[in-house]
């Protein structure tokens, strides 16, 4: 179920508005630009649950979409592309790759995770870098559920209780 979240340079369409984005190559000497319009106030719980719900709703519209490296449409989607589009539909700009998104927002404890927060994973044994991201859609007695794009099953909702995802989990962040 490992996914790859865009590390090659290419230009792709992102959604119905036909905006263009670039995915920059991963170079240690070059730091990617930071999104300019991310909220900079953080609390233990998301301040605006309406925005979180809208982002989640947007992401859920892609449920069942097949996986496609670098994809950001119903024809194919990767994990960071899913979040890029879901947040973008709410006029919130986030970076395009999971490892760069992981540098945004505020790290939070897993017990403080809420809807709209992001979960980051390392799914490759060959790399020590974060390479997968999911969006929390629910937190309840059944645990934390998140939507993400997997190489084998496309865009799905999974549980952090699942052994694979629990083992690969690295951290959670809040950007809303």
Packing angle of the helix pair 79-88, 49-60 (nearest 10 deg): 130
Architecture category of domain 10-25+42-174 in CATH:
Alpha-Beta Complex (3.90)
Look at residue 82 and give its three-state secondary structure. helix
**What pLDDT digit, counting tens, does each position of 61-79 carry?**
999 999 999 999 999 999 9
Pairwise CA distance, residues 86 & 174, whole Å: 15
What's the pTM value of the predicted model, to 2 decimals? 0.75
Active site residues: 79, 132, 148
Distance of CA 163 to the CA centre of its chain: 20
> In the chain, what are the domain boundaries?
10-25+42-174
**What pLDDT digit, counting tens, does each position of 29-55 carry?**
333 333 434 444 344 554 568 999 999
């Amino acid at each position: 179920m490992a996914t790859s979240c865009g590390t090659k340079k290419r230009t792709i369409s992102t959604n119905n508005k036909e905006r263009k984005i670039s995915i920059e190559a991963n170079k240690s000497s070059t730091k990617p630009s930071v999104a300019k319009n991310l909220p900079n106030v953080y609390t233990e719980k998301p301040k605006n649950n309406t925005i979180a719900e809208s982002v989640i709703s947007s992401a859920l519209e892609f449920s069942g979409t097949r996986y496609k490296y670098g994809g950001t449409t119903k024809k194919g989607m990767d994990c960071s592309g899913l979040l890029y589009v879901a947040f973008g539909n709410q006029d919130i700009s986030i970076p395009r790759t999971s490892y760069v998104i992981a540098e945004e927002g505020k790290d939070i404890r897993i017990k403080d995770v809420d809807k709209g927060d992001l979960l980051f994973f390392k799914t490759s044994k060959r790399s020590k870098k974060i390479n997968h991201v999911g969006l929390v859609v629910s937190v309840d007695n059944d645990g934390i559920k998140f939507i993400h794009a997997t190489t084998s099953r496309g865009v799905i909702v999974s549980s952090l209780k699942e052994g694979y995802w629990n083992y690969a989990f690295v951290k959670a962040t809040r950007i809303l």
